[in-house]
Structure 1
């Protein structure tokens, strides 16, 4: 299994890529990079819905420059991991517990055998939601979590009770594998950069578009009814004070001030319930903060550096709240 390299997005040196099998028969693509001499451990990067390893090559370089080994997977149903449906463009799972199976297989077969401890998690959007479920379940491998625009909830009206009820009704009616109402199979929205809700950086937007143009099989389109119903079920669990209270590891939650994809207020509320939670809003940033303009991305990386061992949570910049 190889990684796609294009002039605008070359593979970081030292990559090792391959596949693993989960207990339920899913093939997952992984990639890992060793740490520089005297490394500080391993950061496992968990992407958002519809993303893939290649989209994070720049982040891989940033992490390795900081002394970390890096390891990643493509979630089931996206990237070059197994697609579940006959139409491979549909983003589909039955439940978010399937992503937890992916994490367990990745840790057992890639991280523990081949990556140096200690272990940390850096996750975006849907990946952040999965990591919270992993931490809540008592999985203690990751010593700290950095969650970028985590999918705690969706902003209205997409998170309305009628929408949640509609997804459940359609799924019960046997329509779980259909695209959500209004969904489409376009990998790149026709509005292009001026109308996008992901990043204000035209160069990085063009880079990510070029990756999909070079290999459209990396992408997926709209989610299915079952995926959205499963997402709503996961997000409903996050509303419980007990859920956050069971997460013992330190968690840094970074919200994008200009996010229209996930709910900023929900991120802030959840962070406030964490026993060891920190929260920062990066004002002006859009949803994909790691794909954003340098003026936003630099703030994220500075918060990451301050949060990781060796700096201490208390050294985070102004605008971060702490709970002990």
Structure 2
């Protein structure tokens, strides 16, 4: 099933890949991939949840890292991006009705792909938007997932004078006025920013690999988020931050923040981790937002923390950071 993937010379498909589509509750086709472990002993499967405007191919290197550790990987492109069905007439606009749609897709992914075909136990490794979805879906994951590693979860926007409550209110008003499909930032896909001004990684080779992938396969790319997407994201961030929701969290969780993150709020992440039960916080000083795409100096710190935490023992959760 390698026809479901998009390779470039510097980003080849990992071994033991299986890909395809499953149908969401509303009939949308969601692209997924499974990668069997090559290392031994086999330790289970990591459910890899990507961020906004990402795709399966961006994580081929991470899949190889996990595979060598004896961990299989299962991942999916969120609805509206990558190789999954787009949701509105203009496929370039980053749009979703609600983050609960993402959580519902994840639930079906577990039932139809992960549980029947992937070796347990199961762990989550999630980035940014994916980390927020993992938190939102955690009540349904508690009997499925042993541990979660959440990288730079989208819980706030740095440098903003508006709170997430204010953002939700403003975007709700704009949506009710029929403006939900307007871009809120960036606009349509365009040529990648020069490496020197990018906010995502300090590694030029990985940045070039990722931009080359989208240049070679533009159908995988996505433009900026819409008003409706930002409304959905702010609503989800507020939902998972409610004290009653946080009190029900029962999955041991390692939260990783990037010290030089300018995309999501590191302060909001630290505040969240402080009040979340069964959680530990690791801040990687100097790292930018996409830690798995970062320079080895930062990336290896993350992988070392991951190795200490997954599969790990229960008492390690408070010492992993």
TM class, shorter-length: over 0.9
Match of 2:57 in 1: 54
CA deviation profile, 1:133-172 (whole Å, cap 9, x unmatched) = 1114564211100001011222231744654433121101
Match of 2:199 in 1: 197
Match of 2:172 in 1: 168
Q: Is contact 2:44-2:121 (8 Å) kept? A: yes
Whole-angstrom CA distance in 2 between matches of 1:310 and 1:173: 50
Whole-angstrom CA distance in 2 between matches of 1:209 and 1:158: 32
CA deviation profile, 1:302-322 (whole Å, cap 9, x unmatched) = 00000112466538767x2xx
Other structure's SS at 2:232 match = helix
Aligned pairs (5 A) from 1:1-324: 1-36=3-38, 37-137=40-140, 139-157=142-160, 159-160=162-163, 163-180=167-184, 182-189=185-192, 191-310=193-312, 314=316, 320=321
Q: Is contact 1:307-1:316 (8 Å) kept? A: no
CA apart distance, 1:62: 0.4
CA apart distance, 1:173: 0.3
Q: Is contact 1:303-1:316 (8 Å) kept? A: no
Other structure's SS at 1:135 match = helix
Deviates more, 1:159-168 or 1:84-93: 159-168
Q: CA RMSD in A?
A: 1.8
CA deviation profile, 1:41-62 (whole Å, cap 9, x unmatched) = 0001000001000000000000
Check 1:3–1:158 CA distance in 2 against 1; reply closer, same or farther (3 A cut).
Answer: farther
Q: Is contact 1:306-1:312 (8 Å) kept? A: no
CA apart distance, 1:101: 1.3
CA apart distance, 1:186: 2.2
Q: Is contact 1:90-1:222 (8 Å) kept? A: yes
CA deviation profile, 1:194-227 (whole Å, cap 9, x unmatched) = 1111001000000000100110000101011110
Q: Is contact 1:143-1:249 (8 Å) kept? A: yes
Check 1:315–1:151 CA distance in 2 against 1; reply closer, same or farther (3 A cut).
Answer: closer
CA apart distance, 1:239: 3.0
Other structure's SS at 2:157 match = coil
Q: Is contact 2:278-2:317 (8 Å) kept? A: no
Q: TM-score, normalised by structure 1?
A: 0.93
Whole-angstrom CA distance in 1 between matches of 2:315 and 2:294: 24
Number of aligned positions between the proteins: 317
